[in-house]
Structure 1
Amino acid sequence: MDTATRRALIGPVLLLVAALVAVAALLAPGARAAGGLDEAAAALKKGPVYVDPRAADQLSAGQADALAKKIKDADKPIFVAVLPKAAEYQPGTLLADLRTKVGVSGVYAVELGDGFNAGADPRVMSRDSVRNLVGSVKRSDYTVAERLNSFVDTAEQSARGHAPSSWGDTGGAGGFDAGTAIGLGVLVVVGGGGAYAIARRNRRRRAEEERAALEDLRVVVDEDITAFGEALDRLDFHPGEPGADDAMRADYSHALDAYETAKSTMAAAEHPGDVQAVTRALEDGRFSLATLAARRTGKPLPERRPPCFFDPRHGPSVVDAAWAPAGGAERTVPVCAADKSRLDDGREPLARTVRTERGDRPYWEAGPAYGPWAGGYFGGGLLPGLLVGTLLGNVMMSSPAYGADFGGPGGAEGGDYSGSDFSSDDFGGGFGDGGGFDGGGGFGGDGGF
């Protein structure tokens, strides 16, 4: 063998040796976690299912392996732990603590003694989806194996994201044998490059999608910022003019601050969700302008209301009115005086249109990229009800990850590592005897196991 050939082989061989040494360290008794949550978390980093040896009568090794294979085949970030009632598993904080120690965004389902509950990062599955799914499986007369399989069967259909890259082909329920260790070492060398390439491609694709969405939004937001600046000019207020008082000057200063905030925030925006702060500032500034105008004319100060639903550039709404989108159900929306008059006369309101592949369309019939734009104006709690039955509303309702993609609840994509950077409210609750929810609740402190 010549020198060049030997050198070419040295790198892969060293990598293989290093991988096998690492696996051997994992197999050594002293390298095992101390027990309890640490051991459960260490196992779930390697595979989707962990069964504490003290709870082996709840889920057999064969059942655990089959469940782990099902989750891996679905390529979804679903974690399952079967644990005994023990001092190291504190019911009230178990889900949040387990999520923290595993550090991967996903859906976490836990059997604790005879109790069951689950939690999820909102980007992976919405809180309502988790609550409904947990309730449905708990109300069924299932064994532990049946309950977990039923939960996974449904969760894998709606969970967003991918299986974490740290999962191998070993399952998550048991230990390693020598053959598995060698296989893992080979996979580290041979498959590591491919896994990295896939992850890099996915990140690049997502970045490209976000850039395109942000550019679509930039056109609309820049128009809104310009319109607000023109409204400031038309007001023609001077802090030193006759009759100006401190309240007027404060309103004007607040409006100017909102204008500058909107411009600087949009200039610095890197993701579609950043736009939400821009339109929130514009909404706040327009209300200050409306208040200032009322003070100058001696009219009653306006009530703090959402902006006009049909076009937030119209300013704060003055009344709620019944309206139905084409082919949709009637609902009540906040409207300005001009649009209220048009509706009363049987005319179409002056809708804010945006560019789409089908031409200019009302924003509620555009794509999901306009979600953060609308969310900043109307707030996350109000918006879904206003948009139900529209294209944008359907996207918001149907996708658990909608908010994270386009301005709502954020967090790491399912299967990505985020460490302790997540909301513990999504992993709240405790366990109750018999596996029931305390108070029939759910997550965020209102329910439990």
Structure 2
Amino acid sequence: MPARLVATVLAAGFAVLAFLPALPARAATPELPDRIAAAWQSDKIYVDARLRSPGELDRIRTAARGVDFPVYVALVPQTPYTRENISELPTLLHARVGRPGLYVVQVVSDAYWSGQAELFRPAGLKGRTLTSVQLDDKQDLDIVDDQPVPQVVRTIQQAATAYDGRPLPAIPAGDLEPDSSEHGMSVTDREDLSAYIGLGIGALAGFALTLARGLRRRSRRAKSEPDDEPPVDEWARHSEADEWIERAEQALAKLDTRSGKSARQLDQRDDAYRRLDAARTLRADQPEDLLALTGALVLARQAARVAGGGPVQPPCFFDPAHGPGTIQVDWSDDVEVPACRRCAQLVRSGRTPSGLQVWTKSGVLGLNREQVPYWTLDPDDNPMVATGFGALSDELPDRIAGRKDEVR
């Protein structure tokens, strides 16, 4: 190649390279928590660009100025991401911002608003939980849900009560729903629900039982390395189960007051009642049994989520009280189970989470007692074990309703 031609080609190449840094980089779209956290740096009220900005945002700012902690608010539309992660969004946002305060996420779906909020205190500061204040607030269910501002303002007031004990103010009449007589389920609704519960019971029983037995055999072969998790406080589990049952009842009561419910909302209502009824059954029939208490907690938590418009999430297989099992991990040959982040990290590092430990009898005469992971128990004896509290198959509500004799 002639020297002049080589020089020309090289010069053209360098000219192109000189322009490359000036070209805009095509970056991946940031996740929703990252976008919200970035926007909060300039304004602690984030309104998604896809939404028309609601009026009265100044009411939120005024309420936020009247409390002794920062308030972060995000108003977003319902999307597959928010539907799957709404319960975790306040925690995810707090992790990104890194400051104590009240984190409120309101989601709109079918013109109705619902949300999640968490109050994060400065290190070492203790007090009432936001949830306990909300449960005691008799007017909470009467707030309008076709606009976000009244709900956010009330959440700020509830957080202030939890934070420093100030009394809750009365809710302005304009923020309250008109009186409605459409409370609870009608007789027809309950008959339909009973018929629905009867369908499909046992359809997945064989598969779930086989899977549970395989997990049991695998767990007995595996060497468990304790993860230093403290033993379960049964009284705390009592409180958690009762608290979630009450939250589910409130969420369903609010859903029942809506007029013109869509077919999807009616299906969600029926499913939520099915899970709540099963939770109540476990709580009433076996008030001191740790497996039943945990099952009631899981079912009530799912009922509250479904009534609020979210999808059913399986619990963490290893300890259902940990929260949703959002990560699939290999647990035995060709078997994956859902796990929370903490348990998933342990499994992927080659360790077996200690999981939910229950007392069992051992020894020749059965006089000794020892704590073992719940999944090592006989699945024939308990529907919670057979279904992994719903982590292996979503038939726990039906088994509680239709086969109470399996609950020990």
TM-score above 0.5 = no
* TM-score normalised over the length of structure 1: 0.27
Structure showing greater radius of gyration is 1
**Structure (1 or 2) with the greater helix fraction:** 1
Between 1 and 2, higher relative CO (CA 8 Å, sep ≥ 6) is seen in: 1
Normalising by the residue count of structure 2, what TM-score does the alignment of the two structures yield? 0.29
